[in-house]
Structure 1
């Protein structure tokens, strides 16, 4: 994979904080640095509920992808959720996200994952095209709903 993936570790926190802050600003997610740090650190420290991969060179990542894991009776086992995927604007359009979303699910399937899900803004046509191109399909009968606790 030319868009090499590397599992992020605690020492990657500073690099990751800048990337996540950029994504949150772009996506209109209201979260301060302390909240962001508290959400990222357990993943970086190896909590079994998810992981973060840096995309590209370790010293200057091109982006990241955050995965979380759960269990689905419907899909017959462990499933995952692409919680966030972000590619720096300067390198978008080069097929990096496409490559990640085509190759990473293969590795996850080999590790036992039965399905991978994501959510996308209904108005974000370019992201929807990317996700359709990489094998994700809308589930017309279902709508993601949340109860923030």
Structure 2
């Protein structure tokens, strides 16, 4: 299996929506189909706020990763946040996610991204091991906090 990344475009909306729905089902994230499509469509249309990549062969991808962009004075410029990453269950445990997360910063650095962040369930030790292998480190003094409105 290949961990190659392909920038998703408008023609990938249906495929990506299906992948995201599968991920959300696994994680217990409740979101209706219209909201999901409305959140994905701008990314596929070239929004400067983020990008969606399909993982694997272009004709038959095996997953996706979505990165959103922000600005950080602390990190010296643009930073990215791995909003979601998902692989089909049949191809997991082959090192593909680690490879994607190891290569993604190299690709994003070329676009000026200075740091890449992600969040992980505190109890999901398997995911934490993947992220550690890919070079991500916990920031012990900090925790992600959110306000939804």
How far the C-alpha of 1:110 sits from its partner, in A, is 2.3
Q: How does 1:60-139 map to 2 (within 5 A)?
A: 60-139=60-139
Counterpart of 1:38 in structure 2 is 38
TM-score, normalised by the number of residues in structure 2:
0.97
Q: CA deviation at 1:57?
A: 1.7
**Structure 1 stretches (4+) deviating beyond 2 angstroms?**
none
Structure 2: state its 5+ residue gaps.
Answer: none
Aligned residues: 149
- Matched residue of 1:37: which SS? helix
Correspondence 1:2-81 to 2 at 5 A: 2-81=2-81
Structure 1, residues 9-62: CA drift from partner, whole Å, max 9, x if none? 011011111110000000111101111000000000001000000001223210
Which ranges in structure 1 are unaligned for 5 or more consecutive residues?
A: none
1:126, 1:34 → 2: CA distance? 32
Query: Is the alpha carbon distance of 1:86 and 1:8 closer, same or farther for their aligned partners in structure 2, counting shifts above 3 Å?
Result: same
- Indicate the larger mover: 57-66 or 5-14: 57-66
Instruction: Output the CA distance in 1 between the equivalents of 2:73 and 2:121.
Output: 26
